[in-house]
Chains A and B, each alone.
Chain A
Amino acid sequence: MKKNGFKQGVIGLNLTSMIDVVFLLLIYFMVATEFKTSEAAFAMDLPERIEQSSTLFDDEPLIILVDSAGEEIHDVRMSVLGPWDDVQTPEALRAFLYKNVADGFGKQGYFTLDHPIVIRPAKDAHWEHVLAVYNAAVHAKYTNITLDEPT
């Protein structure tokens, strides 16, 4: 109903300015947000090589052999060279490395945290199985881990 003295008006939203403000807010939050990627990474230093063949270490490295018996994560086959026959899974390796660390704060063990660990996979070993062993060593806080030539 039209009242005396009042113009008939249509109530509407001004879309342009609304889009304007919405985009500004969107860009503000995009810039302010730190996007979390769905990927993570292990840092590794490639070893200095002498005449393309051998890698030099100050200490005798702990050598871990890795192979694959299937495609699943639990199909990893591994062994540690030396008198440690019972270390045959990444979980056992992690516990073994953790138990035998000599941290200089009273914990007695065979290895310091910078003791060289050499992972020596078979040439057909699956990349996931190689990294499962790498992950176990990183979990145990060891820092000097290298991937060796395939056997």
Chain B
Amino acid sequence: MIRRGQASSAIHANMTPMIDVIFLLIVFFVAVSQIVDRDAVPLDLPAFEESAASEIGIEDKVIVNLISNQEGQVSQIHVRGHDVAIEDIETLHRIVTTGINGGAKEIHIRAERTAAYQYVYEVFESIQLLEGAKHVQLVIKDDAG
């Protein structure tokens, strides 16, 4: 109730700049989520002083991460957010095939520098059996970058 002689005073939040800033934050996080590659788990990748490897493009890809222990044994593969046992070829096939059917152009193999070759080759053999998966990229650390 307004009393005589008292000015009407209501507290207002100014909605326009608030919406403005909230929209900017949304756009910012959408842009960041496009850049951050959640499929690339931290691994101790091979690195060379004079590397002849090419830069990695931004096109859609299936990243196959081979996680190994200190002896170089690979027991687990991390691909598209799933942890797959190296013996579970069927699951690996299903996930990689889903990625290729979803428009992924490349398959990137990321393995730690001390991983034993036999496990990497098992993944090659497995991928080789898939339709449309004849090109792979062998990922290394780019010291120049």
Show the binding face of A for B, using Cβ within 8 Å.
16-17, 19-20, 23-24, 26-27, 30-31, 35-49, 66, 71, 73, 121-128, 130-132, 134-135, 138-139, 147, 149-150
Contacts and interface: CB of A to CB of B under 8 A. Distances in A.
A43 B135 contact: yes
Contact of B114 (A19, A23, A127): A127
Q: Is the interface of B mostly helix, strand, loop or mixed?
A: mixed
Contacts of B133: 46
Nearest to B66: A127
A88 B140 CA distance: 23
B117 A23 contact: no
A131 B138 contact: yes
Given A41-B53, A42-B53, A124 B118 contact: yes
A19 B72 CA distance: 50
A27 B28 contact: yes
B4 to A, nearest CB: 27
B145 A36 contact: yes
A25 to B, nearest CB: 11
Contacts of B120: 127, 130
B80 interface: no
B92 interface: no
A51 B118 CA distance: 20
Interface of B: 14, 17, 20-21, 24-25, 27-28, 31-32, 35, 37, 40, 45-48, 50-56, 72, 108, 111-118, 120-121, 124, 127-128, 133-142, 145
A128 B114 contact: yes
Contacts of A36: 55, 145
A35 B35 contact: yes
B141 A39 contact: yes
Contacts of A134: 138
Contacts of B52: 42, 135, 138-139
A125 B116 contact: yes
Given A37-B55, A38-B141, 7 more contacts: A16-B20, A37-B37, A41-B137, A43-B54, A125-B117, A127-B117, A147-B124
B115 A126 contact: yes
Contact of B127 (A46, A128, A131, A132): A46
Contacts of A147: 121, 124
Contacts of A31: 31
